[in-house]
Amino acid sequence: MFGAKIDYLGFGLNRAGLGTLQIVLDKGQRADMVRDPVYPCVHFHLCYRTDSGDHLELRVKDPVVDLRLFKDRTFMTGNIMLFVLGFVLYSSTVLLPQYAQELMGYTAQLAGMMISPGGVAIML
């Protein structure tokens, strides 16, 4: 563990990209940044591409994110399926209470009680 080698450039650019993406997603609507999410794109582009056009993370000996894993069809399919599952679970957790409050006239407490069995099922 103490002898681990770290790609500091890739780690820093990846961290900056995720941080700016989080800011754009959280505060972007108020500051009208959603139409032009340039900062996360620039950081991710710098992290994964170089001036010569090849992948920076493919040239480094110990990359932060090993992109070679995505050549495996099983790994890629599993990641896509998990992304879709997470999207569906998260969107239903966000949209169902809004639907219950706006269209069905529930209070916030009743809407929360309505989706709580689904949360318990997800935990199990």
**pLDDT tens-place string over residues 15-30:** 877 787 777 777 766 7
| pLDDT for position 19 | 80
In degrees rounded to 5, what are phi and psi of residue 67? -70, -15
| pLDDT for position 81 | 97
Per-residue confidence band for 122, with pLDDT thresholds at 50, 70 and 90: confident
- Per-residue pLDDT of 58-90, as tens digits, reads 677 777 777 788 889 999 999 999 999 988 888
In sequence order, the 6+-apart residues with CB closer than 8 A to the CB of 55 are 48, 49, 67
Angstrom distances, CA of residue 60 to CA of 2, 54, 55, 84: 19, 11, 9, 30
Angstrom distances, CA of residue 100 to CA of 12, 87, 88, 104, 106: 42, 20, 18, 5, 6
Per-residue confidence band for 7, with pLDDT thresholds at 50, 70 and 90: confident
| pLDDT for position 66 | 77
d(CA 20, CA 2): 30
Of 63, 49, 58, residue with least CA distance to 10: 63
Which pTM was predicted? 0.55
Query: Where is pLDDT greater, at 76 or 32?
Result: 76
| Cβ atoms of residues 114 and 97 within 8 Å | yes
Scanning the structure block, which residue is given the tokens 């998990």? 82
| pLDDT for position 49 | 63
Q: What percent of the chain has pLDDT over 90?
A: 15
DSSP 98: H
